[in-house]
């Protein structure tokens, strides 16, 4: 596994929260996602993971606010108000939930690194769908500053920090 290269360090304080990687794989700019909804940041800024493992973890301490009926996407919100959307795969809504095994439910509180779901990425690929996993900050306007801490196109290990967010007063 390649060493992760860090960008400029951001010091954590009580108003700064850290997000951790949701999966083993490669981290990319959201702009490289082959879906215009994500690449053009219509849902918000974030990153895309290309997974090399099947387990998807929570990126922060939060409450699960929404699970899409086909299990391919879920929303979470931290106590500080950070909103996150995790969208597993591209066009995977068409698979009617078959590749996804959930380990959480709506309104459940989770800690960073808790297992959210397991995914059969081979089934997704066999169906001709993309395996990119956009992780989007849905309420960027409510936050003061976002620092993506890793240089893109590098391997990353699940539960490794990749983003620091400053919360507005």
- Catalytic annotation, residues: 87
Buried b (16+ CB within 10 A) or exposed e, 124-150: beeeebbbbbbbbbbebeebeebebbb
Neighbours of 59 (CB within 10 A): 30
For residues 83 and 139, is the Cβ–Cβ distance under 8 A?
A: yes
Distances (CA, A) of 92 to 19, 66, 115: 24, 17, 20
What is the DSSP annotation of 13-46? -TTEEEEE-SSSEEEEEGGGSSSHHHHTTSS-EE
d(CA 24, CA 57): 10
């Amino acid at each position: 596994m390649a060493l992760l290269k860090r960008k400029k360090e951001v010091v954590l304080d009580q108003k700064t929260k850290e997000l951790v990687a949701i999966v083993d794989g490669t981290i990319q700019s959201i702009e490289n996602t082959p879906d215009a909804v994500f690449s053009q940041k219509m849902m918000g800024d974030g990153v895309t993971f290309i997974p090399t493992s099947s387990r998807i973890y929570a990126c922060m301490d939060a409450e699960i606010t929404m699970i899409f009926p086909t299990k391919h996407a879920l929303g979470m919100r931290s106590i500080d108000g950070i909103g996150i959307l995790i969208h597993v795969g591209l066009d995977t809504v068409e698979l009617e939930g078959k590749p996804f095994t959930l380990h959480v439910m709506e309104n459940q509180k989770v800690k960073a690194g808790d297992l959210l779901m397991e995914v059969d990425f081979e089934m997704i690929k066999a169906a001709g769908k993309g395996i990119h996993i956009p992780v989007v900050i849905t309420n960027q306007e409510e936050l003061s500053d976002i620092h993506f801490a890793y240089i893109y196109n590098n391997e990353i290990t699940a539960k490794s920090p990749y983003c620091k967010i400053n919360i507005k007063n």
